[in-house]
Amino acid sequence: MWSEPVRDGSLSAEVATWTRRTRFELVHRLPLRFATNHPQGMAFAAGRIFLTTVEVLDPPRPLPDADGDPARRTPGRGRGHVLVIEPDGTLAADLIVGDGDAYHPSGIDHAGSLLWVPVGEYRADSRSVVYTLDPHSLELTERFEVDDHITWLAPAPESGTLYGASWGSRRLYRWNLDAGAAVRESEVWDNPSWHVDFQEAQYDGGSRLICGGIAELPDAEGAKYELGGLTVLDFSARRIEAEVPVPVFSAAGHSVLRNPFVLTRDSDGTPLLHVAPDDGDEVAGTEILTYRVVNSVAPRRPSGALHEIAGTMGPA
């Protein structure tokens, strides 16, 4: 159930074939019976579940004339957590992360030997502290700071690179690392997609990433509607390869892609989508939900070829 994802490109290739007809069948729910606050990122490593959450003690408040700009607000006050969870849902450890105003941990991923954990200020265009976490010893190491709010990190250990993104994934980053995980140089480009704001990403080999998130859109009554979806991104090509909506909702009414997700395979090769969209104080608390993904067989595609109608297409 909690096996680590393969990183051979097959999962992103499969996501690229999903459509609005793809079904998500709930096959498992794991309630978490401890304080989870507001979950942000999730990864599977060393037979355990790692869940980042933010505990807000004093929420950020808009500055005068902020006009909805997420960068123009007070930092607020809070505490960041990395929750280490056993397969049966019991809490093994609660690791505190953060530095001053940087108390908001975000999307995490594990490929190779370490988990990478960004902890930023709870506002856009701010700063982040980046940690690594050994999933076996649970040793946290502060690696470097980034001059931006980093909303997720995904390592590619075979190439010595680290992928990430800004608030809402409006800017996409790739850093080259040396053996000590110190940044040598970075590459950045603007995300061309406004389908959803990526909240979490999973490295899938090469330079491909599977990104998930939501967009909060107004409905006809002025309330908010959460559109959730997955995106396949090729960083080197600077190209969005596929986008697919995931119209599935949690007990609290959230899109299931509100923040944490992990995509794996079942023993028979079927994709499994694991999510944790709800906060600890919501109707059912935080649950890790697992969906079996059933992709409809594509019908025969018409060729678009022209066919002469007898007696109507003679010479002009």
pLDDT, tens digit (0-9, with 9 covering 90-100), for 100-150: 999 999 999 998 899 999 999 999 999 999 999 999 999 999 999 999 999
Q: Residue 205 pLDDT > 80, yes or no?
A: yes
pLDDT of residue 184: 66
Output the pLDDT for position 177.
86
**Is residue 266 one of the residues assigned to a domain?**
yes
Residue 5 belongs to some domain of the structure: no
Res. 40 pLDDT band, cuts 50 70 90: very high
Residue, of 310 and 64, whose pLDDT is higher: 64
The domain tally of the chain equals 1
Please report whether residue 77 resides in a domain. Answer: yes
Give the Cα separation of 108 and 153 in Å (integer). 5
Give the domain CATH number at 187: 2.120.10
Q: What is the pLDDT of residue 48?
A: 98
pTM of the full structure: 0.94
Q: How far apart are CA 88 and CA 264, in angstroms?
A: 18
CA 234 to each of CA 18, 197, 239, 240, 264: distance values in angstroms, whole numbers, following the listed order = 17, 16, 5, 6, 19
Residue 117 to residue 163: CA distance in whole angstroms? 12
- What are the tens digits of pLDDT across the range 183-197? 667 899 999 999 999
Q: Residue 180: is its pLDDT beyond 90?
A: no
For residue 316, tell me if it sits in a domain. no
Residue 2 lies in a domain: no
State the residue range of the domain holding 144.
10-294
Are 98 and 79 in contact by the 8 Å Cβ rule? The answer is yes
- Asked if pLDDT for residue 165 goes beyond 60, the answer is yes
Task: Report yes or no on 301 lying in a domain.
Answer: no
In a domain, 313, yes or no: no
**In terms of pLDDT, which residue wins out, 177 or 39?**
39
Q: How confident is the model at residue 20 (pLDDT cuts 50, 70, 90)?
A: very high
pLDDT at 182: 59
